[in-house]
Structure 1
């Protein structure tokens, strides 16, 4: 890769990591605050929302605010216009009588521009149960897939990427054989001789290059970050854009009417194949593997841990693909929120989804897990993520950062790294 191409690659990569970036601050701040500090209520309670509008950190007064109160991603319950008095206005919602989430939106128009925000009250979220169901042959279906995968040699091909290597870490592009086609990824390993724990990084949704976790390698881990589409992960950024809006557009619905050929089958088994590859490495300690990711990657972390007992720890941000059938039962379903129209609301597609819903893999997790999301996530709604979390019986801990949407604070990522690094380095090699 030429220096110019590498710079373009980095610029493209920075453009697609929006999940990790907080939104830019606007001149006018609309603030919506529930009256419980943790934004959490019991079912049957009434949430009270306070709306204020700031300019230069000073509350504005006497301006009109449009509001809407609704269950997340569903039709509104109440809406109207109110006027700020003494810099704020208070709205009391009607009772919320079942576990779930209620969202208050507020918007103002100032100098011809609209500013808006929202906050979300949770009602007994740890009592939320999934709407999807577990097929009787779920385990048999995936055992058969893993048996088919096991017959295919890993055939790893490693290509050193000297332009990415550092004083402490070597970096390679890796190609391995998968159930259908290839899996590509970036392997980073410490330069110093030794045996190290491993971290598998699984990707968020979309079509993008892969940078590799060099920092993890410099901290004493073998790291393997994969793509899922069977294409090299260091190509011209323009190619990924073309694929994203062309051949791979809406890949998450490809062949969804056939569980044996649905797009995600090779993806999920590809994650198992990535673990196979890690186990071939001389620098791997042979015992300790963690998996982590966000959004689609959060789902793949849960799915990989549910599929593969070799995973010892998982850390998942804002997992997608959870409780996909939620919209068919009057509440928010997980990304990609497919069951909202006539194209996807077909019995065969709904049935296929049950074999690929992260909830049904969560039921089989044995590894300790670290999880984190926010109540304001409008991509992976918290009703869906709690649906998965609540069926996990393994040791688990949840870190809720209520105001986050589909992004994370630096503090969240620091907590994840501290937990995962500590677990892997202090493991008793179970």
Structure 2
């Protein structure tokens, strides 16, 4: 059995997919970053009376793409004697930013945390209008046009999250990390590719990796909705796959400069291991990956949590 696991890992480590970048891929993202870079944050920060005395917790909002107010918790240790590192955390698909108490493992060590509700999810709305929005979920919103696709806005909301924490006088701007799992992991990788300021990106079982392969191999998850959309509209297959190339971390990851740590579960039916390894193998920045042979899409296991704590402590 051990030999079987080792053979599987060798196959994954040798997988070298071809990029699917369109000729205007880089131009598209430079234009998008320039468009968003000139927009004001319009920050709002309101103190929360929270029953843990060792922290300061705030309800915050900042303007993301198209002036949508992005909701988040900003949490710091109550006593700060010098600038602190900050972790920006993105949740999974159809999730939310969780409770303030969920982040205590970072706060007690002296980190600040910005926990973001992605647009249209949790308590964050979405000011955008989408010409293709018939499936009732985010992954297909605007999928026929790269300019209006949902994840274009989400990735830029993530860049503006970095702007927000960089405006906090107590944050060490040289020690910013991006973190997330599933969709949140995919966002963390994409934002790290589009912004040079983070020092570290931690992406657990990330989505949005080698998307055509993931659609071929997966059995569950948000990409099944894309297939349902194409079942209704087979005339749009080429257009949809072209749109997705711009948001595939396989085509973005060569831009990543910060240290990256990823995880993969070899039993994952939502984010197939080979799709994750396709991106991991293509990253040129310092990197490492944790492989869990008998885990699926759930990384809430003790060994993983402990290793994540140790990794962030070492590198942030």
CA distance in 2, matches of 1:413, 1:310: 25
CA distance in 2, matches of 1:157, 1:334: 38
CA distance in 1, matches of 2:206, 2:108: 27
Q: Where does residue 105 of structure 2 map in the other structure?
A: 215
CA distance in 1, matches of 2:173, 2:160: 16
Q: Of 92, 96, 99, which aligns to 1:204?
A: 92
Calculate the TM-score normalised by the size of structure 2. Answer: 0.87
Is 396-405 or 226-235 further displaced after alignment?
Answer: 226-235
1:400 and 2:288 equivalent? no
CA distance in 2, matches of 1:249, 1:281: 36
Q: Where does residue 353 of structure 1 map in the other structure?
A: 244
Shift of 1:132: 5.0
Calculate the TM-score normalised by the size of structure 1. Answer: 0.65
- Cα-to-partner distance string for 1:19-62 (whole Å, 9 max, x where unaligned): xxxxxxxxxxxxxxxx2356131xxxxxxxxxxxxxxxxxxxxx
Q: Where does residue 16 of structure 2 map in the other structure?
A: 129
User: Contact conserved, 1:178 with 1:270, CA < 8 A, in 2?
Assistant: yes
Name the larger-Rg structure: 1
CA distance in 1, matches of 2:121, 2:202: 26
Shift of 1:281: 0.1
User: Contact conserved, 1:132 with 1:325, CA < 8 A, in 2?
Assistant: no
CA distance in 1, matches of 2:177, 2:170: 15
Q: Higher helix fraction: Structure 1 or Structure 2?
A: 2
Shift of 1:398: 1.1
1:227 and 2:227 equivalent? no
Aligned length: 299
Cα distance change, pair 207–399 in 1 and its aligned pair in 2 (3 A) = closer
What residue ranges of structure 2 are gaps of 5+ in the alignment?
A: 126-132
Q: Where does residue 378 of structure 1 map in the other structure?
A: 269
User: SS of the residue aligned with 1:390?
Assistant: helix
Q: Any residues of structure 2 matched to 1:265-344 within 5 Å, and which? A: 265-326=152-213, 331=217, 336-338=222-224, 340=227, 341-343=230-232
CA distance in 2, matches of 1:252, 1:167: 39
User: Contact conserved, 2:72 with 2:117, CA < 8 A, in 1?
Assistant: yes
Q: Where does residue 411 of structure 1 map in the other structure?
A: 303
Q: Any residues of structure 2 matched to 1:13-412 within 5 Å, and which? A: 35-37=1-3, 39-41=5-7, 121-122=8-9, 124-130=11-17, 132-164=19-51, 166-180=52-66, 181-193=68-80, 194-212=82-100, 213-229=103-119, 233=123, 249-326=136-213, 331=217, 336-338=222-224, 340=227, 341-343=230-232, 346-408=237-299, 409-412=301-304
User: SS of the residue aligned with 1:356?
Assistant: coil
Q: Where does residue 129 of structure 2 map in the other structure?
A: none
CA distance in 2, matches of 1:277, 1:384: 32
CA distance in 2, matches of 1:381, 1:401: 13
Shift of 1:336: 3.1
What residue ranges of structure 1 are gaps of 5+ in the alignment?
A: 1-34, 42-120, 236-245, 425-430
Higher RCO, 1 vs 2 (CA within 8 Å, ≥6 residues apart) = 2
